[in-house]
Amino acid sequence: MEFFKLSLFVIGGGYAIIVAADDVFARKLKWIREGELIERLPILQSVPGLIAGNAAIFLGMKMAGVLGAFVSLVAVAIPSLVIITGIAMGFQWLPLGNAYVNGAFLGLRSALCGIVFAAVLKSWKRTVRGAYGYIMLPVFSISMVVYDVSPVYVLVGSILFGVIYMGIVLPTLRPRAIDGEEDGL
């Protein structure tokens, strides 16, 4: 039911749902620890499918196995399916040349961009940690924005660089890491 409500009322796409779901399932219901969904965001993004659907499957599986994953996925999909079907059916009647309609779309695009940006800022502390994160974030961002590198290459590159950093570079910098010590992730 919680995923159904999130999908029905949270506007802004997968990132906004992840932040809202983390709030509901960690703070309100205490089913997961705070920040767990945000920490799993790289996995949820890199698997084919919508981020909200992947999060629903992850959390449903964790809480109630395969049946929980299925129910959570259906619950998060139904509102979007109904709403987008209604929009698609009525889209042909929208006067797209109308200044008011275009103004509404302009306002929505701006608001959605702001919502995604706010979700990034909220998850910043949990996702970007250590020198590695602060160095690689602009490297990957610039590669996509300035050099138009495909997100697929950025994801594959980030995995490779992360493995190299954690497996080769970090052990040579600190050969005796202590449990619980900041690992530069």
Percent of the chain with pLDDT over 70: 94
Q: What pLDDT is recorded for position 185?
A: 52
| CB under 8 A, 24+ apart: contacts of 160-167 | 161/136, 162/132, 165/132
- Please tell me the distance from the alpha carbon of residue 129 to that of residue 123, in angstroms, as a whole number: 11
pLDDT digits (tens, 9 = 90+) for 28-54: 999 998 888 888 888 888 788 888 899
pLDDT at 182 over 60: no
| Model confidence, pTM | 0.65
Range of weakest confidence among 67-71, 111-115, 147-151: 111-115
Q: Output 22-28 pairs: Cβ under 8 A, ≥24 positions apart.
A: 25/59
The reported pLDDT for the residue numbered 117 is 85
What share of the chain has pLDDT > 90, as a percent? 41
In one-letter notation, the amino acid at residue 167 is G
Contacts with 178 (C-beta within 8 Å, 6 or more apart), sequence order: none
Q: What would the pLDDT profile of 88-99 be if each residue is shown by its tens digit? A: 998 888 888 899
| Alpha-carbon span 67 to 85, nearest angstrom | 26
Q: What are the boundaries of each domain within the chain?
A: 2-127, 128-185
In this predicted model, what pLDDT tens digit does every residue of 134-145 receive, in sequence order? 899 899 999 999
